[in-house]
């Protein structure tokens, strides 16, 4: 009844004669010897739309995303953004990182729920089925989910999930920066960092999730989603492979002074000793020069570190700069090498007496300390 009266009143108002000029429009009075100013032309009035007609313009749709479907949807969104035709925009890269991290966490929990719903809870001892179905509980994080998958569920031999996996950790750190504050990174770095995680999740889905989906319809839908994801994943894989091929000649012969990039994780930063600006050959991440590059490489501030009581980098016996960092190189990725970011000189180690990197004379067995040749010669001269 109320709606009918409102519509009738609105129709009556529309039929009423309206003045050409709004009664609130400013008036210009004629002055002696001057013509009257023309009245402003009123803007056309938008046709009124009844409430009933207006509400019918919105076609509301509900959503239903159980855990597996939700994780797959996040995963598909991530690869679609990364493989966008013409290249992803900055916003695409940001959302791809957020969605990929969400996909990993949700898919890990989806597998836990298949095994035992209580494992999804942060505190498994407080599990309540009613609250679980309503989503009124605090769930575990991605790292804890991986630990429980390994300890309580057991994974296929084809799947290796490590909560300290370098690519998963890097993705989580970037996600945290974007979620809680802000961040920046290069297009190449995001592609290189996300590809291993995407590949890991596809293996996880194939060998650890789909075999345990009991509903045939749900399993079929998941397979269709994975087919779509594989198509987009090929574009990302092709990009990374092409970039590696393009920079292969630039890296060849420099394996002993090539360190992994902090952004993309690939061995593509060459400490050649003459670079004014150290840059990752793969993702173009810039580190600066010399001492500055050493601190940028580890992602810390020299000023803040030393002010808070931390230690400076060890000094180089060749160039004298405090820019020698313990790193892994392409030639020896499993061992620690000491390389100067200023001049690119490699050293056997760091003397525990003068804190300078160089050739070591010997190790003091009783104390487990290394001594360089200069310190050894100095002490020997006293005898």
Number of domains in the chain: 2
Q: Are residues 71 and 179 in the same domain?
A: yes
Q: What is the pLDDT of residues 148-170, one digit of tens each?
A: 999 999 888 778 899 999 889 99
21 within some domain:
no
Q: Are residues 286 and 244 part of one domain?
A: no
Q: Are residues 310 and 216 in the same domain?
A: no
CA–CA dist 263, 167 (Å, integer) = 10
Summarize pLDDT for 165-184 with one digit per residue, the tens: 988 999 999 999 999 998 88
Helix (H, G, I), strand (E, B) or coil at 364: strand
pLDDT in tens, the chain (383 residues): 444 555 554 555 455 444 454 444 444 444 444 444 455 455 455 555 454 554 555 667 888 888 999 999 999 999 999 999 888 999 999 999 999 999 999 999 999 999 999 999 999 999 999 999 999 999 999 999 999 999 999 888 778 899 999 889 999 999 999 999 988 889 999 999 999 999 999 999 999 999 999 999 999 999 999 999 999 999 899 989 999 999 999 999 999 989 999 889 999 999 876 656 788 999 988 888 888 888 888 888 888 988 888 888 888 888 888 888 888 999 999 998 888 888 888 887 887 777 777 666 566 555 557 777 667 666 666 66
Is the same domain home to 227 and 337? no
Q: Where is the domain boundary, 250, 284, 302? A: 250
Task: Give the DSSP letter string of 138-177.
Answer: PBP-HHHHHHHIIIII---TT----TT-HHHHHHHHHHHH
- Shared domain for 331 and 207, answered yes or no, is no
- Same-domain check for residues 217 and 304: no
In a domain, 240, yes or no: yes
Model confidence over 86-133: pLDDT tens digits? 889 999 999 999 999 999 999 999 999 999 999 999 999 999 999 999
Q: Which domain holds residue 320?
A: 262-347
**85 three-class SS:** coil
What is the Cα–Cα distance from 262 to 186, expressed in whole angstroms? 11
Distances (CA, A) of 194 to 51, 99, 234, 262, 283: 48, 11, 13, 14, 13
Determine, yes or no, domain membership for 30: no
Q: Same domain, yes or no, for 114 and 202?
A: yes
Same domain for 223 and 271, yes or no, is: no
Kindly state whether residues 91 and 235 are assigned to the same domain.
yes
First-last CA distance in the chain: 112
Is 367 within the bounds of a domain? no
Domain check: are 150 and 243 in the same one?
A: yes
Residue 212 belongs to some domain of the structure = yes
Give all strands (DSSP E) within the chain, no chain letters: 258-260, 267-270, 278-279, 286-288, 314-316, 322-327, 337-340, 346-347, 349-350, 356-358, 360-364, 369-372
pLDDT of residue 274: 61
173 lies in the same domain as 153: yes
Phi, psi of 299 (to 5 degrees): 70, 30
The reply to whether 200 falls in a domain is yes
- The answer to whether residue 28 is domain-embedded is no
The span from the CA of 166 to the CA of 141, in Å, is 17
In a domain, 81, yes or no: yes
Q: Which of 220, 250, 280 is the last residue of a domain?
A: 250
Residues 243 and 268 placed together within one structural domain of the fold: no
């Amino acid at each position: 009844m109320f709606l009918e009266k409102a519509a009738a009143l609105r129709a009556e108002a529309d039929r009423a004669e309206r003045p050409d000029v709004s009664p609130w429009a400013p008036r210009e009075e004629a002055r002696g010897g001057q013509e009257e100013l023309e009245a402003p032309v009123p803007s056309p009035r938008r046709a009124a739309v009844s409430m009933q007609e207006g509400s019918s313009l919105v076609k509301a749709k509900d959503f239903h995303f159980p855990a597996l479907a939700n994780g797959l949807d996040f995963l598909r969104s991530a690869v679609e953004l990364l493989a966008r035709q013409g290249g992803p925009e900055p916003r695409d890269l940001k959302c791809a990182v957020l969605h990929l991290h969400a996909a990993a966490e949700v898919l890990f929990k989806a597998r836990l729920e298949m095994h035992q719903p209580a494992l999804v809870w942060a505190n498994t001892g407080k599990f309540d089925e009613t609250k679980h179905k309503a989503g009124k509980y605090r769930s575990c994080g991605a790292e804890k989910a991986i630990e429980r998958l390994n300890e309580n569920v057991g994974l296929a031999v084809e799947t290796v999930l490590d909560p300290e996996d370098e690519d998963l950790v890097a993705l989580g750190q970037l996600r945290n920066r974007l979620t809680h504050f802000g961040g920046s990174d290069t297009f190449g770095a995001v592609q290189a960092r996300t590809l291993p995680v995407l590949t890991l999740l596809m293996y996880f889905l194939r060998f650890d999730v789909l075999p345990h989906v009991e509903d045939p319809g749900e399993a079929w839908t998941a397979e269709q989603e994975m087919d779509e994801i594989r198509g987009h994943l090929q574009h990302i894989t092709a990009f990374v492979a092409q970039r590696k091929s393009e920079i292969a000649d630039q890296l060849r012969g420099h394996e002993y002074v090539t360190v992994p990039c902090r952004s993309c994780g690939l061995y593509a930063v060459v400490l050649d000793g003459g670079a004014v600006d150290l840059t990752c050959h793969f993702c173009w991440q810039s580190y600066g020069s010399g001492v500055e590059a050493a601190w940028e490489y580890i992602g810390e501030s020299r000023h803040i570190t030393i002010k808070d009581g931390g230690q400076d980098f060890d000094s180089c016996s060749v160039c004298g700069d405090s820019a020698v960092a313990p790193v892994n190189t392409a030639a020896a990725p499993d061992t620690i090498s000491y390389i100067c970011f200023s001049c690119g000189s490699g050293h056997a180690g760091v003397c525990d007496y003068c804190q300078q990197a160089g050739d070591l004379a010997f190790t003091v067995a009783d104390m487990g300390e290394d001594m360089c040749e200069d310190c050894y010669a100095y002490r020997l001269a006293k005898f």
